[in-house]
């Protein structure tokens, strides 16, 4: 659409207002919140990488170190893998427990921070 006159620009503005919903207070979009964010796939993946990946890495490293120790003692790979499963499960549970405690501490810290900000806003 080529704008050549004031009347054309008014038509364009009217068309734009009609497309964006006019002056409805329900949806204000990016004009009000320039950096919109939400819970999406990125938040899910971030949670996985932050909480699950360290546990998995600990389990894999524990398994391979157990297999390596058993093979150094002369066991076959099959027997070494069987003997490494028990310590690996224990390491997974321990690492998972540590990650869970860390998650709970982070959650509590975030709650306290939100309460502190709420109190500060009430005082202002």
Phi first, then psi: what are they for 52, rounded to 5°? -85, -40
The two tokens of residue 37 are 């964010």
pTM, two decimals, is 0.55
Residue 13 is encoded by which pair of tokens? 């503005």
Contact 104, 121 (CB under 8 A): no
pLDDT value for 26: 57
Cα 60 from Cα 114, distance rounded (Å): 37
The radius of gyration of the chain from alpha carbons, rounded to an integer in Å, stands at: 29
Give the pLDDT of residue 86. 93
Higher-pLDDT residue of 33 and 41 is 41
**pLDDT tens sequence across 47-103:** 788 888 899 999 999 999 999 999 999 999 999 999 999 999 999 999 999 999 998
């Amino acid at each position: 659409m080529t704008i050549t006159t004031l009347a054309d620009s008014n038509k364009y503005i009217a068309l734009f207002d009609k497309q964006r919903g006019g002056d409805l207070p329900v949806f204000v979009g990016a004009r009000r919140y320039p950096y919109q964010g939400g819970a999406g796939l990125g938040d899910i993946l971030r949670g996985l990488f932050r909480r699950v990946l360290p546990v998995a890495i600990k389990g894999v490293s524990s398994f391979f170190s157990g297999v390596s120790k058993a093979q150094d003692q002369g066991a076959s790979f099959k027997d070494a893998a069987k003997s490494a499963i028990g310590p690996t499960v224990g390491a997974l549970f321990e690492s998972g427990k540590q990650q869970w405690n860390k998650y709970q501490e982070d959650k509590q810290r975030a709650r306290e921070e939100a309460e502190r900000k709420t109190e500060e806003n009430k005082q202002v």
